[in-house]
Structure 1
Amino acid sequence: MKKTNIFIALLATMVLMLAACGSKEEASKKESTETAAAEDKSAGASEEGSAYPMTVSPTVASTESEEGGSITFEDEKFEKMPEKIAVFDYGFLDTLDALGVEGIVGVAKDSTLPAHLEKYASDEYKSVGGLKEPLLEDIAEMDPDVIFISGRQSAYYEELKEIAPVVFVGTSQDDYWGSFEASVDLAAKMFDKEAEAKEYLAKFDSALEDIKTLAGNYETSLVTMYNEGKLSGFSTNSRFGYIYDIYGFKPVTEDIESSSHGSNFGFEAVLEFDPEVLFVIDRTAATGGDSNIEADMENEIIKKTKAYKNGKIIYLDGPLWYLSGGGLQSELAKIDEILAELK
């Protein structure tokens, strides 16, 4: 009888052990299934959330060529985020730098780099040439995934397209601020930096408010560009028209021919319009020449103007305004420069 009881007890124990093992195995299978499902769901979400493949449109659809006629820029489709980047436009390089984008392999080192972008003069970055003279063979050796250009390189658009996808990121004379914002948006989306771009653009809110308030203190202003002793003038519908349209300075005249380099504008014309504030962009310094801007500008004619008498001739940094505009850092620096000069 005792042997029978022992046998029954052993049998019951074995049944319980087998049941426990089965439960553990079932739980393990369930856990594996749930983990796999979670991984699949995560992968699917990642795929759905990915910005690529991405079609990128130029900031400006077309531009006039120096030889006459127009050049039309096409959309480009990218299957994945570009890892090797060649950049001609200093404004776009400025934006990529501000957003912390990595992978820049080539920049236009053969022209005058703006001071805040001097780190790109190092040997870490190869030269794609000058702003108007691309080194096509050198660029081909870099094997970039994308080439960013603006107006100064537009004549080489087709040749550059044979090397890699080309995206036009320059600004428009007709809508400078809008095309600047479009270039920032393009960079942010292509390189997954939308949060960084939003944070940086927030800095413009107070800066623009400050400069509009300051601009309200003056009845008239005139934007000019100095080049080797000569002046050109700019009105609202021009490459520097945002000083009026966005910053809020009132133009002393709108009767100035629209041109990328401004309308020829003698010193006598400045005196005739007699602005309260005279902005002067030093193109000579921007292109590496020896500038005599103050000696040339402060002549007997200009000394008769309200701007001179009130100490309101504002000499603007040449490389910043002439070469590197259209970038997050440079556009903010422009506002800060005027605020510092006029406060």
Structure 2
Amino acid sequence: MTPIHPIFLALALGLTAALPEAAQITITHVQGDTVLPAAPETVLVYDMATLDTLDALGVPVAGAPAGALPEALQGYGADIGTLFEPDLEAVNAAGPDLVIVGGRSAPKLADLSQIAPTIDMSLDRTDYLASAQARVTQLGEIFDKQDAAAAALADLDAQVADLQVAAADAGRVLVILTTGGRISAHGPGSRFGVVHDDFGFAPAATGMDTGTHGQSISFEFIRETNPDWLFVVDRDAAIGREGTAAAQLLDNDLVRTTTAWQQDQVVYLDAADWYLAGGGLSALQDSVTQLLTAAGDAS
């Protein structure tokens, strides 16, 4: 065996040392710190708000659970399990540089982290709007879309400011969710509390359950509360379940006595924006626009 001349050995070692390591970044998220490639290319997303934001920013996404997607995001559907039960074999086969969870999928971070760097983009319901904006900014930084994120958030801030002005004089609002013929109400501090906490609409009722599922209510409750506005999220419409539509469910003698009904101030919120992709950039923009249009038309 011919020995390697020391000069050539030194040159080889020098070239090896000069080769740059793949650039990495450390991301601080809801469940800790995660190291990931500085420019992740193959990305799987198990959080609809994040997918909505990445779509708005023009970031390529390799896939998301097909069964959970709003219509506008159907093109990202992939056979990688569900939000609650990711298909770990499919994830491994996809070879992602980054997996993103949040909300419903957040408990699966540990399992997915065994396959690829995984971060949790869940929103903070106690500071919903600021939390959602922070996620947009952070995603812009991860994917080198800082300028697009900043511009979109500036526009959103301006719209929210206009909405807060309109909300101040709009009257009392009751936010309800309908599903399977049942109704729940969501007040300040709840999953839809952004209506009151950030957008500034006065609540028609206070002291309600702030849990994820809200407070179960009856038609009598709506009549007695007598809101000036009813903001309605039709969960069945959001998830494609057949059943009584919210508009049909609410069209009864008790609800028809309310100021909201008589003043034609029942607003059927975009169910996908509020129930599926709530907190995503496009969902926020669309939600603010819808409420601003409704409140502005009434003023």
Residue aligned with 2:84, SS: coil
- What TM-score, normalized by structure 1, do the two folds share? 0.76
What residue number does 2:192 align with?
240
Q: Deviations over 1:62-98 (max 9, x none)?
A: xxxxxxxxxxx22101253211100011111111111
Match of 1:95? Answer: 53
Q: Report SS of the residue matched to 1:105.
A: coil
Q: How does 1:109-258 map to 2 (within 5 A)?
A: 109-111=66-68, 113-121=69-77, 126-258=78-210
- Matched residue of 1:128: which SS? coil
2:270 to 314, 317, 333: 317
Q: Distance in 1 between matches of 2:237 and 2:211?
A: 20
Aligned to 2:286: 333
Equivalent-residue separation in structure 2 for 1:340 and 1:119 (angstroms): 29
Aligned counterparts of 2:59 and 2:268: Cα–Cα separation in 1: 32
Find the residue that maps to 2:73 and give its secondary structure.
helix
After the TM superposition, which segments of 4 or more aligned residues of structure 1 sit over 4 Å from their partners? none
Query: Which digits, 9 at most, give the CA deviation of each residue in 1:198-243, with x for residues without a partner?
Result: 1111211331122122212222111111111111111111111111
Contact 1:180 1:326 in 2 (8 A): yes
Larger Rg, first or second structure (1 or 2): 1
What is the aligned partner in structure 2 of residue 56 from structure 1?
27
Q: How many residues align?
A: 274
Task: Give the AA of the match of 2:272.
Answer: P
- Extract unaligned runs of 5+ from structure 1: 1-46, 61-72
Q: Which residue of the partner structure matches residue 283 of structure 1?
A: 235
Q: What secondary structure, in the 3-state scheme, does the structure 1 residue paired with 2:171 have?
A: coil
Counterpart-to-counterpart distance in 1, 2:158 and 2:56: 19
Q: Pick from 12, 30, 35 the counterpart of residue 77 of structure 1.
A: 35
The SS at the match of 2:76 is helix
Residues 100-151 of structure 1, C-alpha deviation per residue, up to 9 Å, x if partnerless? 223x21212122x223223324xxxx33222223121111100101110012
Report how far residue 297 of structure 1 moved.
0.9
Distance across 2 between alignment mates of 1:209 and 1:156: 37
SS of equivalent residue, structure 2 residue 203: coil
- Kept in 1, the 8 Å contact 2:36–2:97? The answer is no
Q: Which runs of 5+ in 2 are unaligned?
A: 1-19
CA distance in 1 between counterparts of 2:165 and 2:34 reads 41
Root-mean-square deviation (CA), in Å? 1.6
My pick for the range that moved more, 75-84 or 253-262, is 75-84
AA at the equivalent of 2:72 = H
Distance 1:247 1:297 in 2: 25
Instruction: Give how far 1:341 is off.
Output: 3.3
